[in-house]
Chain A
Amino acid sequence: MLLSLDAATVRLGGRAVLDAVDLGVAEHEVVCVLGPSGSGKSTLLRAVAGLQPLSCGRVLLDGRDQCGVPAHKRGVGLMFQDHQLFPQRDVGANVAFGPRMHGVPKGERDAEVGKLLELVGLPGAARRSVAALSGGEQQRVALARALAPRPRLLMLDEPLGQLDRSLRERLVVELRELFGRLGTTVLAVTHDQGEAFALADRVVVMRDGRIAQSGTPLEVWQRPADAFVARFLGFDNVVRATVVGEAADSPWGKLPVPEGTPQGGRTLLVRPAGVRLVPADAGLPCTVTARTFKGTHVAVRLQPADGPHLEAACALRDAPETGASVGVEFDAAEIVALD
């Protein structure tokens, strides 16, 4: 393991912001820590960088305990949430800062800066002032600056946080491709699941300073570890139910469940795609309370006569009007027991 956290704990004002976290990142791996704000993910990065001392536990890089090693000697890179470019320096001097601190001679430095700026898609921008850069350009410069001292581990704090949506979607693909090409080891944190799933080999979901789930994007998406993870990923249809055979008794009536579902009292997740709308006289009778346009589909919010509301995904042309009465049937393939 390039990076291992061993029961890493940070207490601030009596509260454990990071609570006995164990985490490993292998070489060339891209790991994304996902969690709501206040879940301790930024503290995790700061602890690895050496900007935040641990209350107990250990941070190991290449198997060596980093206790007492100051930030500037750890050889890790950190890209800050709002970039933190040096305002009084131009783009080139920002990127060259790391190599300069490491005593790289000027000629080599300039060549390196040119190469990196080309790599991040800003060729020839070295003399520009950082104040004149757009948000996306700043992000690219910050990335080049973080890469310049060739850190063994690159950490990104909300790398695309403040950019607008379309730019974010484009950059996340570029980043993924760039890290694959360079073989960079990356530990990133974000609150945006789309970003995490697009970027990472492995996703780690955090809650209240603890790790709630860790796995490949597909694993986490298909089988959230618990109701918290499911809700954080945007799934609303989470209920308690009693599974008997291939059916479950829930507030929404009898639900079909896949073969091999564990029996007894369970928390079930019904993905919106598994909620099928049928004519009002069939299935569970519901009223449409809201419709949200999601681009490729419409999210329809349904209120059954009894029990919590439901969310369904349906094609644009099939979406019923608000106030309409519909029936609901469930698809066993889109229902999963979380515990």
Chain B
Amino acid sequence: MALPVAFFAVFFAWPVAAIVARGLKVDGAWQFGRIADVVTQPDIRHVLWFTTWQALASTALTLLLALPAAYVFARFDFPGRAVLRAVVTVPFVLPTVVAGSAFLALVGHHGLLDELWGVRLDTTVWAILLAHVFFNYAVVVRTVGGLWAQLDPRQEEAARMLGASPLHAWRKVTLPALAPAVAAAALMVFLFTFTSFGVVQILGGPTFSTLEVEIYRQTSEVFDLSTAAVLTLVQFAAVGAILVVHAWTVRRRESALRLVDAGTTARRPRGAGQWALLAGVLVTVALLLVLPLAVLVRRSLDAPGFGYYRALTDSDGGTFLVAPVDAVWTSLQYAVAATAIAVVVGSLAAAALARRDAGRLVRGFDALLMLPLGVSAVTVGFGFLIALDKPPLDLRQSWILVPLAQALVGVPFVVRTMLPVLRAVDARLREAAAVLGASPWRVWREVDLPLVRRALLVAAGFAFAVSLGEFGATVFIARPDNPTLPVAVARLLSRPGDLNYGQAMALSTILMVVCAAALLILERLRTDRTGEF
């Protein structure tokens, strides 16, 4: 418990406090009026307005497109269902810059639609909205569909036997059970899109800017740190509010529901309507999720003989001090370090949280752990930048800075994955081991570890994918001579010229392949697990 608390105090609480101080303290005196000053500026108000409405629109669009898919995945059994489920999840672990470049390749200047019909969306808000759906489709399908699959269909049948029509039974039985999950998923999507950075940075152009992008702009282009700090506080408050509502809906979702094994509730679609629904979902997935990635790969191969890939190994391209391909190696090193940190800190925190006698204080820490996930990467990066640059802790020159920031974002994933499994370990199994002579440490090694080993691997995989694709925090603190993959992609995209564009596509493709591979390995581990507990 002590280590996770210290970790969060130093690498999260302190940087945040530093931001607060930077934003509100002028010449040593607190100036709370600064908040009002900043948010009443017309351009800032415009940013706030855009951030909110695009998040609302993205959430609505995602629900509209993904809820039918949640139903299809939960209730229909069809060939290729497992593969399709994995495909749907891939975008979620993809780095935002990959999605950004994929949509650029699809709807941007000289994009596929531009070439076919002369349609360009990259200067419109539609590109952003579609990219947000691309990302968060999986959130809805997994959260809602996961629960839907476990709802006992016999409950609905019981309502039918009592005289309810199919629609009526669905409305009265299934919908109420599902509503909290839908609300939770919607809030998650809202949170992710509200704090969207990479996508808007790449697709938004000069016209559209979210709060997150504006914070970045104020810091790295305008150098107005105090305005950035105030904006960070505004974002912090908004995210905090969303998380509180989310925690509340999750608690409601955990209320007594009769759940059954998800494997037993799906069946073949029946009738033209159900087949049409299935087909519609398949087409949506193909157009929205698969097509952008396919176009991305094709664009990266536009130059003859893997030209763009070969260009990556050139160090005199001018964009960087090193060959872009070195970013692959840098990224992997950072990701491994970040994964190690996240797994150690996250499992210690999960172990402390899983104890049945965990007090209120410890459970409060649970919610706190989720904060970095929502509080946005840019905040973390910015906080690191202004808090860890002077004694007692000066990490500016240290390579560990980047993995630390990435680990901070990865820890919530580790905790989320480990906690349910640790909670599921029967406390009496531990007691049985103790009575047989095992000391507390040996109990953990002999009983807990074998049971959670797989979850630990899954958690590590998640942390790895997250840190590999992390962009918002890394872009602040990565050193120019040592960019990570996403940073390199973004920098290539910001330069003119076909070669830079092509190289960005090629790097994105590499990044996508690595992340997708990590995810597919995870999916295997996950399905294996079901038979064991």
Contacts and interface: CB of A to CB of B under 8 A. Distances in A.
Contacts of A78: 431-432, 435
B332 interface: no
Interface string A62-98: 0000000011110011101010101110000000011
Given A84-B428, A84-B429, A49 B442 contact: no
B451 interface: yes
Contacts of B437: 72-73, 98, 101-102, 149
A145 B431 contact: no
Contacts of B442: 101
Interface in A127-181: 145-146, 148-149
B428 A80 contact: yes
A145 B435 contact: no
A51 B429 contact: no
Interface string B417-450: 0000000001011011111111110100011001
Contact of B438 (A72, A84, A148): A72
A174 B447 CA distance: 31
A72 B439 contact: yes
Interface in A165-216: none
Most buried by B among A72, A78, A102: A72
A70 B426 contact: no
Nearest to A82: B428
Contacts of B436: 72, 77, 97-98, 101, 145-146, 148-149
A129 to B, nearest CB: 12
The B contact surface, by secondary structure, is: helix
A101 B450 contact: no
A80 B434 contact: no
Contacts of B450: 88
A20 to B, nearest CB: 25
A86 B435 contact: no
B389 to A, nearest CB: 47
A80 B432 contact: yes
Interface in B432-472: 432-440, 442, 446-447, 450-451
A84 B426 contact: yes
Range of interface residues on B (Cβ < 8 Å): 10 to 19
B252 to A, nearest CB: 26
Interface in B108-155: none
Contact of A51 (B431, B439, B446): B431
A339 to B, nearest CB: 40
Contacts of A146: 436
Contacts of B446: 86, 97
A149 B436 CA distance: 7
A76 B435 contact: yes
A51 B440 CA distance: 12
A97 B437 CA distance: 9
A148 B436 CA distance: 9
Interface residues of A, number: 24
Contacts of A77: 435-436
B428 A97 contact: no
A283 B438 CA distance: 66
Q: Find the residue from B433, B437, B442 having the highest chain A CB count within 10 A.
A: B437
Interface string A7-35: 00000000000000000000000000000
A71 B429 contact: no
Contacts of B432: 78, 80, 84, 86
Contacts of B451: 87-88
B254 to A, nearest CB: 23
Interface string B197-210: 00000000000000
Contacts of B426: 84
Nearest to B435: A78
A76 B431 CA distance: 12
Nearest to B438: A101
Nearest to A77: B435
Nearest to A78: B435
Contacts of A76: 435
A70 B440 CA distance: 9
A72 B433 CA distance: 8
Contacts of A87: 451
B434 A86 contact: no
A98 B437 CA distance: 6
A76 B434 CA distance: 10
Contacts of B440: 70, 72
Contacts of B435: 49, 51, 71-72, 76-78
Contacts of B433: 86, 97, 101
B447 A72 contact: no
A76 B437 CA distance: 9
A71 B447 contact: no
A97 B429 CA distance: 13
B434 A51 contact: yes
A86 B429 contact: yes
A71 B434 contact: yes
Contacts of A149: 436-437
Contacts of A88: 450-451
Interface string A40-54: 000000000111000
B280 to A, nearest CB: 43
A191 B400 CA distance: 61
A141 to B, nearest CB: 12
Given A86-B447, A88-B451, A101-B442, A70 B428 contact: no
A73 B433 CA distance: 12
Contacts of A97: 433, 436, 438, 446
B399 to A, nearest CB: 39
Nearest to B443: A72
Contacts of B434: 50-51, 70-72
Contacts of B439: 70, 72
A50 B436 CA distance: 12
A257 B446 CA distance: 62
A95 B436 CA distance: 10
A146 B432 CA distance: 9
A102 B436 CA distance: 9
Nearest to B449: A88
B360 to A, nearest CB: 17
Interface string A94-111: 000110011000000000
Contacts of B438: 72, 97, 101
Contacts of A98: 436-437
A88 B533 CA distance: 10
A73 B447 CA distance: 18
A21 to B, nearest CB: 20
Nearest to A83: B432
Nearest to B447: A86
Contacts of A80: 428, 431-432
A49 B432 CA distance: 10
Interface string B97-109: 0000000000000
A142 to B, nearest CB: 9
A101 B445 CA distance: 12
B127 to A, nearest CB: 50
10 contacts: A49-B431, A70-B434, A72-B440, A73-B437, A78-B432, A84-B429, A84-B431, A146-B436, A148-B436, A149-B437
Given A51-B434, A51-B435, A149-B436, 18 more contacts: A49-B431, A71-B435, A72-B434, A72-B435, A72-B436, A77-B435, A78-B431, A80-B428, A82-B428, A84-B428, A84-B432, A86-B432, A86-B446, A87-B451, A88-B451, A101-B442, A146-B436, A148-B436
5 closest Cβ contacts across the A-B interface? A101-B437, A98-B436, A71-B434, A84-B432, A78-B435
Interface of B: 426, 428-429, 431-440, 442, 446-447, 450-451
